[in-house]
Amino acid sequence: MQAVCYSAPNTFEIKSVPVPEVGEDEILVKVSFCGICGSDRHVIEGNLGPQSQWPITPGHEIVGRVARTGRGVKGFLEGDRVVVDPLSRCDQCFFCRRGKPIQCIEMKVLGWTSPGGFSEYVTVAAKNVFKIFNVTDEEATLIEPTACAIHAVDQLDLKVGSEVLILGAGPSGLMISRICKVNGATRVVLASNKGMKMDMAKQVNAADEYLELERDQSEAKEQWKAFKKANPYGFDAVVEATGSSDIANDAINYVRRGGTLELYGFYGAGLVHWAPSKIFGDEIRIVGALGQHRAFPRAVAYIDSGKINVKGLVTNVYNHQQFQEAVDKLESRQVMKIAVRP
Ligand SMILES: [Zn+2]
Ligand SMILES: [Zn+2]
């Protein structure tokens, strides 16, 4: 079979590799599409540390069909349409043994610690495979980001009727916004630069209000000033989903007293500079959210039922031969979700 293989950071070729073996409790999935995600860039650039297995086939937003099942697998038939949860916890580390699998330090990740979805086939533990029925294969690439967004919203621990501000209208910001909206927030404001992503956010009705920022920094600054004035009590929760540490630094100024700030991005070596007195005096809770654990059933339910609409959010489709183009396109403002097919 054919797979995208990175032999070193930023260096790949399309290689012919053996179709993986199928263990007793595993399923061989024939990949139809694999979404490409901001985090894939970190895998590709070699920023994710010693757990990365070189050479590596990235890709963790995997959609396909059951091609073969191991002897111990029940409930799946060849041809079933499925999505794959790429994360497996070890059940044995310090955190897993304390019932905190989300903090597992021996986590296995398809497309990072083992071969992923930019390939014709992957083998996956059957417990990580979920059937889909209605959503298209292409649009099902948004189920994995939705599962992560569900965990992000779980972390907010919102009360019914909360007011939420989301910063960033990429696939993650959009999904977090949408999930807050269908889970009882009275007001969800999505703030991001003007342009295609915000247009799409409106198209899928992602928020209640949109703060469309000008690209010009001084104009944007004025817009934030006016926004602050119009919302003197801030928001119960502010979610920073741009991955910019500068924006994270400022985001705390929009958190209501007693509210929560969530950081949701790969910030690299970026730093923030907050007055501890504000966190102390305003009783602000600061949380992070990385990946998800067992959030796939809920993500499938939202997307496959159409309750969360993902129509049109896959804006670009490439094949393996065009993989570099797909990676380059990640940088573009004119893109929402990119799906890659073999
Ligand atoms: Zn992802
Ligand atoms: Zn563990």
Q: Which residues are CB-neighbours of 249 under 8 A, at least 6 positions away?
A: 272, 273, 274
Would you state the pLDDT for residue 117? 98
Over residues 137-145, mean pLDDT: 98
| Ligand in nearest proximity to the CA of 103 | 2
Would you state the pLDDT for residue 176? 98
Residue 203's alpha-carbon distances to 130, 141, 254, 263, in angstroms, are 28, 19, 26, 26
Would you state the pLDDT for residue 91? 96
What residues does each domain of the chain span? 2-135+310-341, 146-288
The count of C-alpha atoms lying within 13 angstroms of the C-alpha of 250, restricted to the half-sphere facing its C-beta, is 14
- Per-residue model confidence as pLDDT tens digits over 16-47: 999 999 999 999 999 999 999 988 988 899 88
Cβ of 208: how many Cβ atoms within 10 Å?
16
Give 2 Cα–ligand 1 centroid separation in angstroms. Answer: 22
Would you state the pLDDT for residue 165? 98
pLDDT category, 220, cuts 50, 70, 90? very high
Residues around the ion ligand 2 (C-beta < 5 A): 89-90, 93, 96, 104, 106
Give 225 Cα–ligand 1 centroid separation in angstroms. Answer: 33
| Superfamily of 2-135+310-341 according to CATH | Medium-chain alcohol dehydrogenases, catalytic domain (3.90.180.10)
| Ligand in nearest proximity to the CA of 94 | 2
Give 292 Cα–ligand 2 centroid separation in angstroms. Answer: 13
Would you state the pLDDT for residue 211? 98
Give 89 Cα–ligand 2 centroid separation in angstroms. Answer: 5
pLDDT at 48 over 80: no
Would you state the pLDDT for residue 26? 98
Q: Are 189 and 235 in contact (CB under 8 A)?
A: yes
312: tokens are 């049109």
Over residues 93-97, mean pLDDT: 98
CATH of domain 146-288: 3.40.50.720
Would you state the pLDDT for residue 332? 86
| Ligand in nearest proximity to the CA of 89 | 2
Q: Which long-range contacts does 7-14 make (Cβ < 8 Å, 24+ apart)?
A: 7/54, 7/55, 8/46, 8/54, 9/44, 9/45, 9/46, 10/44, 10/45, 10/46, 12/44, 12/323, 12/324, 14/320, 14/321, 14/323
Mean pLDDT of the chain: 96
50: tokens are 């010693």
**pTM for this entry:** 0.96
Q: Which of 170-174, 196-200, 296-300, 328-332 has the lowest mean pLDDT?
A: 328-332
- Per-residue model confidence as pLDDT tens digits over 284-299: 999 999 999 999 999 9
Give 61 Cα–ligand 1 centroid separation in angstroms. Answer: 6
